[in-house]
Structure formats: structure tokens, C-alpha cells
Structure 1
């Protein structure tokens, strides 16, 4: 068990002169400087009237300063990173909902969040990067808003990070994560990936999302390793970054992995000279075909992991070789306990299908101001993930679908993932998302949105016939849409819920 119960304590681990936070084309910030920065940020925020438990919304572009702002501001207060691409209305909702005490933005920023903060009477703090400063170094300026109620470094039970659930079907829920939660999760990831001070992560994930914040940034700092922060995912630039920065790993969502794969043939020299120890995939299911192609391309294992905001990210992960990996499975419990539960709340046996439930130090204590959601989410101390799955006697977990995404076609239950995996085997198919299409008699029918590979052709009828070889008739998509691109969420995830509406299929 780790002794580092707060982010500030976790920052003390790395060797003083070792690189902590980096960025392409910039000098890295050593651990000694990061620790000094965190200590200064605590004092500065306290001077401005912000301390433990006060909420600071962070609206910064992806990059090293977003990473260092997260860990240093969390050392003093509660961070609430927000997507910089939100519109004014969205900022108003989130800043109100969070009851933010301050908003942190880049000096010179034109974010609509600033006008909204001023309208709501929320203090604005500006972050400046001095010319020539190492990656992640910054200075803060702002007006004092009064005495700090709780100064000094945050404590283990304090809330380090607040995020909202994606809210595809309902109002987003507030998920508070304590220092104890997030440091436990970082330690779980270090353990499952055997991260050491010699590792270097290339972060391409957005840093307003749990995946990038914990899996890339906090786990690297927990290992005393380096995290090099890019401006965000860019399929045209990632090979250049890998060539220049020589990372030992990166973590991404499946759509990013597919985009990288599609450009592999043009970057053979970089691929040959890359020194990746592994690649990690999380936040959505990785088609087995994509995993195989990635491993062949990079000549390293692809580790599929399973995470969610309420668990401070990671819950399960496939182990690294020589331990057994199971393609299509999200691996074994990695930190929290995992079980499969029936709808009635009974723990099921191996190979029985039910809801995946978890409990452990990385799991949130509950949603904020939402007793109804908490009553539905917790049973006998177990958190109900909303995912349906099955666990083998060896402890390998396979997700069979999101309970809300299971298609109910006239009483027949269909897992969209099963249909996805069959259609992905067609040689012309690059991406597929199977989803529910409202039907007046059946309630729901099966539909699929498909992107074809460059230079390949296939008709709807041909794809339906192909699916029918492997699937029972009721599982074959009644409607197949051939698209240039499938709409994605802010983090690059393909979203099944609401896709029929997004594609204009529901009147």
C-alpha cells in the first residue's frame, strides 16, 4: 500500500534532477522545480483567498501547463478541469453546478468562460508562461478575494478533482474524487504497467478527462517518470512526436489507435526506430482486429484497460507479457475488487452474465447532491458500473455491453459490441458503431454506422449478408449507414447512446 495519500506527497517521489513534465520541442521541468512550483502555488492561492475545499475551474489548452496546473492547484484546492471548447452556455452550466470559487485561464485567453465567470462573480486567475520557461512552468496572477478558510497543503480526504459524468441520457452528475482516490488509482496503474523512473509517457489524451489526468499524468509522476504533454491528439503529428521524444508508452482511445494505424505505412522508418515498451488502450472497447494490427505495427504489446470516472479511472487491465493477455477482455482486477452482480443485488459465479460492480480505495464515495443516483449506484458497498460483463474462473473480465446500450428488439436482447466485432471482420470496414434505432412495433431495432477503408467499396446489402453469416437474423442490422466519419464525443469516444438522433434518423 502506498504512503503517498495526497498529490503533493506524490510529487515528492521523483529524483530531483529527473524530468517530470515535458513537451515536444521544449526543455522539461525537473521534479525539484515541480515540487517548488507546487509549494509556490499553494502559497499564492492561499494569498488570493483560495484554499482546501475551494473549487478552481481550469480552462487551459492541452499541454504541459495544463498537467502541472492540475497537480499543483490540486495540492492547495479542488480542481475542476473543463473542456476549453465548451460554448458560453455550457460554461455557465458547469461553473454554476460546480459552485466554482475561481476560474484559471491562460493570460490573454479569449475563452467565453471568462465573461461567464465575471457574470457569476467568480474570481479569474491568469496563468502566464515566462519566455523560455521549461515545459509546465508558470506564474499566477489574480485579485485577492478574502481570507483563506483552510490554508496549507491538501489532506488525503480532501477532494482533489471534480469531474462530471458525460450525461448522454440525463443531467451530468458531479463526481468528487479525493486525494486518496486518485493517488490509489495512480499507484494501481504504476503496478499494472510496471512503470519505473526510466519510463516516458507521451500524453495525447485531453487533460479535462480522467483518462489523461490519471493514466498518463498522475501515474507517471507516481512512478517518478516523465510525462511529455502534446497539444492533443493529432494523427499527422504523432509519428513525429514519437520519433523526437522516444516515449516508452502512450495511452489512447480506440478511435485514436485506428487513426494511428491508418498512417502507419507512411511512417515506416519512425516505427522501426521506435522504442515503445507497450501501448495502452482504454475508455472504450478495442476491436480485436485493431489490437492485432497495432501489435504487428509497433512490435510491442497492446494493453487493454477498463476505467471510468467514478473509479478515478482504472479498474481492470490485461497484464503485461509474459503473463496471459486475453484479446477482447479488459483483463484482471487492477486495484479495486471486481465482481458480477445480478439485477437483484446477488453476487454471481464465474461465467455468469450480470452487472460489473467494484469497490476499493480508488472509488468515489458518491455523487454530489444526488441521493437518488447514489441509491441506484451503490449496493452493499459495491458500486454498480452500469456495464454488463462476464468473468472467467481465472478472473479475466469481458465487457459485453453498456446496460443502457443493450438493444431490446421486441424482447430479444442484443449486445452492440457483438455486432461491431462481426462487421469489423469485413475487409472493407474501418470503423463501426452498432446502435439502437427506435421502431414503432419492436420498440428498438438494430442499426450500424460504418466508415469504409480508403479505396474500398461495399454496399449496405453486402454488409448485411456478411453479418448474417455469423449472426442470428434478429441481430443483423436492419439499417446500415455508410459515413465518411462517425460523430464522436469530446474525448474521441464513439457514442452509441443518442446516435440515431445525431444522424437524423429519429423524427
Structure 2
């Protein structure tokens, strides 16, 4: 086991040569020995083209084993910059320019607009050709044009080199670059491995997008760091999930709450599959899991749902509920699981247990700072070296963390501060409600007022007035949504998260 690996090159030494590292539904398994050989070949090929440690390589590939393998192989010798394949040309133009990419990896035959953008920017493009017969994720790279001078800094990356660069979501401002060192990424993978007690016997079913920190670290690197196996799907598909479950026989999976809810909606007709493939646990992260959904998942799957708390700047995991027999609680994201966690007031002073304030973290999985952004760094870090998460919450005396919301998402209704999560939880208690997201909408006198968008359970009917009455019995009147929209689907972000910021505009309430 790569117990204290500080580089990706060391992390993938965890598995036995002939043990499966990556697989895919219907595919030939790729062993750890083959993954290590593929990584070394890729580093050598990049070095020969002048790409070495610290050079940024944009990766635009669909979800699947090739994306997982390419991320690892590139990041082990250069800097991986995975980009969402569904971006439009102007988005690729922004990200490739902002990253100062030295190379772009795309699939052979891919029609992605990223290619034309790279050519316009003078960024060389390399085509990745999958060789699935050699194992899931196996590939060769086809470079065009004359070879550049060999890389100045070749060979495997070192602990302080940047392994991965991602942008923040930028819901309210220009996206910021988050550079994560090899040591940050490996520390986070190790934290998750210990939290979830991964071993070489674990098999994960990855349905998370691999341009996102959750999928890359929790879905791929953490289980590999224990010598475990990951089966990489083409991406989330609720209709195919139970077929994959039957074939892969996973011991666990990780997802965001909206994915869990979509899986839950189809669980009733897949009881035999669930019983035939008992899971050790199910993990949820990246946005809050409604307690009602957590209970339903645990009842249906007969497995603990382990909610965790992560963000890109911390290379994903910050806190997690523990595995049984230790308790895990609905509405809590658990105990510090890697970095130190504290709650501070507006002045940055620590608050005692039970008090609500801003959540701050520090640890070896946390980035050193945003790239080329002194203003953001001055705001993000305290004098004591704590990173300000922008989330509000409180700690119990036992150390369990509860979130009350993003500071930016707290609704300020004429001076009354309202946590959208509190309203969500009340509305989710109505038996007809399947999904809910509460958000701020502009108000000419109060500044902001409370609004909510909901999706009903299949076959249920409900009118806005009835749901407002239900909420009024359980919430102070000022917290009851002034407007409730009943929708077939709530708009989601690229990673499947429900996003409160900007929702009023998207839904025409501005």
C-alpha cells in the first residue's frame, strides 16, 4: 500500500502487479502493472515532445477509463488540467488561455470545439487512441508536427510540483485557478482511504464526472491508493446504474445527492439486484444530502450512507461521517477527516462548540493559494494560515460539523438572515416533495425574499398554497417561501449539483 505517497507516481504503486486497477462495464481489466507501465510510457512520450513537470496539459475526454488513466498518467509527469467536454468554444478559449496550456489531449476522431480553439491559440493537440483490448483505459498518443526539444524537467513529478489545476465554479465572479500539488492530491486520497477503510478487495463504480475534484480524488485516486479497483462508467445514467451494479458487483460508490435521488427513484424495480450485490457503504458529497433522502437510501440499500464535505481548494475531502460502528448523523457532514477544522467569527476569532460561524481549515491537502490572485488570497487566508471556506456552520462538542449554508447563499430578508438549507429540510418533509432547492429572489423593499423550486414525487400533485401552509406550521412566517415553483426538473450545474446562486435569474424571477 502507498501509505504515505506524496506523488501520483508513488500512489499507483499500491496495487499488486496482477491486481485490477481500472475496469469498465463490458471491458478487459487493466492491472496495476499495466497502469504503471502506461504512466511511464506517457511521461516519456510527453517529455520527448518538450512537456515536463509543471507544464499544463488540457484534457478534454468523455467520462470513462481512458479519462481516468490519462488524468493519472499526465499528472504523474506534468500538470493535468481536465476540462468539461461539454464546454462551448468561448469557454475553451477562456480556460486554455487562462491556464497557459502547453498541450491539449483529445480523443481520436473527437469533434470537440477545443481543437479549433487550441489551434487558434497555438497550443499543440495530441490525439488519444484507446486500446481497450490491452485493458480498460489503455491508450496510445499520436503527436502531430515536429518534435520539440526534450522537456527541461523530465521524469516523474516531485511532491512540490503541481499535479492538477482546476478552476473554481465562479458562480458569482471570474473563476479562480486552484493549483494542487502532488502532495495535496495524495494527502486527500490518503485521508479518504483511511476514512472509508479501503482495501485491495474494494471495487468502486465510478459515475462521477472526471473533470471534477470529487470524481478524480474520491472516485479514482483514493481506492487506487489502497490497491483497490475502480470500474469507470461513461458517466451517470440512472437507467443503466443497476445493470452496471449487477455486472461490476461494486462494494461502494460515491455521488452527489441529485444522482442518489435519481438512483433511488429506480430502486423499487431493482430490489433483486440490490439484494444480490450488498454494498459496504454509499458515499455522498459536493452538496448537502437531505436527511429524508439519507434515511430512504439506507433503508433501500441496507448500507450506511456516509456524507462527506469537500471543496476543490482542499483537494476534495475536509470532513466525513465515520463508518459504523461509530455514529453518523443525518444533517451533519461528520468529523474532521484530514485537515484541522475550526469555526470563527467575523473577526477570525475561534468560536466555542455550538456557535455558528465561518468554517476554516488547514492541512496538507489544502492548496497554498489561488494562482496569480493576491486579492483572492488575502481574502481567503487568515493570518494564522487558516483557509476560509465561505461556508457557515457549527461543531458539536464531539466534533461533528453541521453546515448552515454558503455565506453567499444566506438570504437577507430585510435584515433577517435565513438559511436556505433549513427551509429545504422542512419542505422535503412533505410526502409529495422529491427535490427542493431554496434560494433568494430580489425584492424591491426587503432586498431579498425567499423562493423555492421543487420537484414532486412521481404521481403526486400539490399546489403552491398547500405547500406554503405546510411550511407555515413549521417555520417562522418570514422564512416561508413567498414563491414556490413546481417544476419537472430543477436546473443543475455541470457536476449535477443544485445551485442556489443565480437560480432566480434562470427561473425568470428577476
TM range (shorter): over 0.9
Contact 1:434 1:446 in 2 (8 A): yes
Which residue of 1 is the match for residue 127 of structure 2? 126
Spell out the pairing of 1:299-448 with structure 2 (5 A cutoff): 299-379=302-382, 380-448=384-452
1:186 and 2:189 equivalent?
yes
CA deviation vs aligned residue, 1:43-78 (integer Å, no higher than 9, x gap): 110011100000000000000010000111111100
Contact 2:58 2:81 in 1 (8 A): yes
- Secondary structure of 2:10's counterpart equals helix
- Deviation of 1:131 (Å): 5.7
- Secondary structure of 1:237's counterpart equals helix
Which residue of 2 is the match for residue 20 of structure 1? 21
**Which of these residues, 241, 250, 253, is aligned with residue 256 of structure 2?**
253
C-alpha distance in structure 1 between counterparts of 2:62 and 2:469, whole Å: 46
- Deviation of 1:504 (Å): 1.1
1:82 and 2:83 equivalent?
yes
1:499 and 2:499 equivalent?
no
Spell out the pairing of 1:437-476 with structure 2 (5 A cutoff): 437-476=441-480
**Which of these residues, 142, 161, 173, is aligned with residue 170 of structure 1?**
173
Spell out the pairing of 1:13-52 with structure 2 (5 A cutoff): 13-52=14-53
- Secondary structure of 2:470's counterpart equals helix
- Secondary structure of 1:94's counterpart equals helix
- Deviation of 1:343 (Å): 1.0
1:204 and 2:207 equivalent?
yes
Mean Cα displacement is larger for which, 126-135 or 312-321? 126-135
C-alpha distance in structure 2 between counterparts of 1:145 and 1:440, whole Å: 60
C-alpha distance in structure 2 between counterparts of 1:238 and 1:413, whole Å: 40
Which residue of 2 is the match for residue 279 of structure 1? 282
Contact 1:21 1:30 in 2 (8 A): yes
- Secondary structure of 2:133's counterpart equals coil
Which residue of 1 is the match for residue 57 of structure 2? 56
Contact 1:123 1:145 in 2 (8 A): no
- Deviation of 1:134 (Å): 1.2
C-alpha distance in structure 1 between counterparts of 2:20 and 2:151, whole Å: 33
- Secondary structure of 1:180's counterpart equals helix
1:477 and 2:478 equivalent?
no
- Deviation of 1:140 (Å): 0.8
Contact 2:210 2:216 in 1 (8 A): yes
Contact 1:316 1:335 in 2 (8 A): yes
- For the structure 1 residues 131 and 246, does the alpha-carbon distance in structure 2 shift closer, same or farther, using more than 3 Å as the test? closer
C-alpha distance in structure 1 between counterparts of 2:267 and 2:233, whole Å: 19
C-alpha distance in structure 2 between counterparts of 1:339 and 1:322, whole Å: 25
**Which of these residues, 214, 219, 243, is aligned with residue 222 of structure 2?**
219
Q: TM-score, structure 1 length as denominator?
A: 0.99
Contact 1:330 1:399 in 2 (8 A): yes
C-alpha distance in structure 2 between counterparts of 1:475 and 1:145, whole Å: 62
Which residue of 1 is the match for residue 198 of structure 2? 195
- Secondary structure of 1:119's counterpart equals helix
- Secondary structure of 1:467's counterpart equals helix
Which residue of 2 is the match for residue 7 of structure 1? 8
C-alpha distance in structure 2 between counterparts of 1:130 and 1:182, whole Å: 28
Q: TM-score, structure 2 length as denominator?
A: 0.98
C-alpha distance in structure 2 between counterparts of 1:324 and 1:131, whole Å: 42
CA deviation vs aligned residue, 1:29-55 (integer Å, no higher than 9, x gap): 000001111111111100111000000
C-alpha distance in structure 2 between counterparts of 1:2 and 1:97, whole Å: 35
C-alpha distance in structure 1 between counterparts of 2:419 and 2:26, whole Å: 45
C-alpha distance in structure 1 between counterparts of 2:218 and 2:121, whole Å: 33
C-alpha distance in structure 2 between counterparts of 1:147 and 1:254, whole Å: 46
- Deviation of 1:2 (Å): 4.1
C-alpha distance in structure 2 between counterparts of 1:436 and 1:398, whole Å: 21
Q: How many pairs align?
A: 506
C-alpha distance in structure 2 between counterparts of 1:136 and 1:17, whole Å: 16
CA deviation vs aligned residue, 1:163-200 (integer Å, no higher than 9, x gap): 00000000000000000000000000000000000000
Which residue of 1 is the match for residue 112 of structure 2? 111
Contact 2:206 2:253 in 1 (8 A): yes
- Secondary structure of 1:315's counterpart equals strand
- Deviation of 1:147 (Å): 3.1
Note the residue ranges of structure 2 that are not aligned, 5 or more in a row.
none
Which residue of 2 is the match for residue 156 of structure 1? 159
C-alpha distance in structure 2 between counterparts of 1:356 and 1:200, whole Å: 33
Contact 2:28 2:132 in 1 (8 A): no
Instruction: Give the superposed CA RMSD.
Output: 0.8
Which residue of 1 is the match for residue 142 of structure 2? 141
- Deviation of 1:149 (Å): 1.6
